């Protein structure tokens, strides 16, 4: 599994970036947000999502690159929604910044999602319904955000520590959703707790 690719940005367009690392050029599909972040840089670090499609006439292996972990996390959440494929998810992330998208989902702003090409009312509603609770469980938004005009809570936890702890717990056989909920609760109460202590505490709390 590729976590990220760091190297020289040899080619870039609003939809594609090529990063050379150790003599290998990696072509990655990107959003407009990522393009804006990297277009003027010579050296970049892009977080990777790998998409492997098999079983058809033409198997494919595609790399998606993201300027930061939050955008990649949102992309991965979007493609879990029925009716939202990789192209649509990238369109959504090109139309709004990660922070704006979190606000859209937290406030139930169907109109903004419908403004994205290929997104109808039902799909917009499904995205909001499916992802709002997931975001709340992960500490991205507060559980009280509902209705038009609500604002997302400021990040309440250290995302890097949370992600590392949840990843470790998942490797140990625990489901991601309850692990994320427990880890988020621990970090809200103890924001400076190191990841190893978070994992030990979570092991005592996960049911």
Cα three-residue angle 148-153-165, rounded to 5 degrees: 130
Beta strand extents in 13-75 (DSSP E only): 16-21, 24-29, 43-53, 60-66
From 180, 148, 146, select the one nearest 76 (Cα to Cα). Answer: 180
**Torsion sign, CA atoms 159, 160, 161, 162:** positive
pLDDT tens for each residue of 110-152: 988 988 877 899 999 999 999 988 887 777 765 554 444 444 4
Residue 26 confidence (pLDDT) above 90:
yes
Which position has the token pair 């190893």?
196
Token pair of 23 as six digits: 């003599």
Span 76-86, mean pLDDT? 91
The span from the CA of 105 to the CA of 201, in Å, is 31
Judged on CB neighbours under 10 Å (0-12, 13-18, 19+), 169 is buried
How far is CA 205 from its chain centroid? 26
Q: What is the pLDDT of residue 142?
A: 59
Strand partners, 53: 60
pTM value is: 0.69
Tens-digit pLDDT profile for residues 147-182: 444 444 444 567 788 888 888 887 787 877 778 888
Cα distance between residue 173 and residue 195, in whole Å: 18
- The answer to whether 114 and 125 are in contact (CB under 8 A) is no
Q: Supply the pLDDT for residue 3.
A: 93
């Amino acid at each position: 599994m590729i976590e990220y690719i760091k190297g020289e940005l040899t080619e870039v367009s609003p939809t594609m970036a090529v990063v050379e690392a150790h003599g290998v050029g990696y072509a990655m599909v990107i959003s407009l947000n990522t393009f804006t972040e990297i277009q003027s840089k010579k050296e970049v670090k892009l977080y990777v999502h790998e998409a492997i499609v098999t079983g058809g006439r033409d198997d494919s292996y595609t790399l998606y690159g993201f300027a930061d972990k939050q955008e990649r996390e949102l992309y991965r959440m979007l493609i879990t929604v029925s009716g939202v494929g990789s192209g649509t998810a990238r369109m959504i992330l090109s139309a709004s910044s990660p922070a704006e998208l979190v606000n859209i989902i937290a406030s139930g702003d169907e109109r903004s999602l419908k403004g994205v090409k290929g997104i109808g009312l039902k799909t917009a509603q499904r995205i909001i319904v499916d992802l709002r609770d997931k975001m709340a469980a992960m500490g991205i938004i507060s559980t009280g955000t509902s209705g038009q005009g609500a604002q997302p809570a400021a990040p309440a936890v250290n995302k890097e520590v949370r992600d590392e702890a949840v990843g470790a717990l998942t490797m140990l056989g625990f489901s991601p959703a309850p692990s994320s909920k427990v880890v988020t609760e621990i970090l809200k109460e103890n924001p400076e707790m190191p990841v190893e202590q978070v994992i030990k505490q979570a092991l005592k709390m996960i049911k």
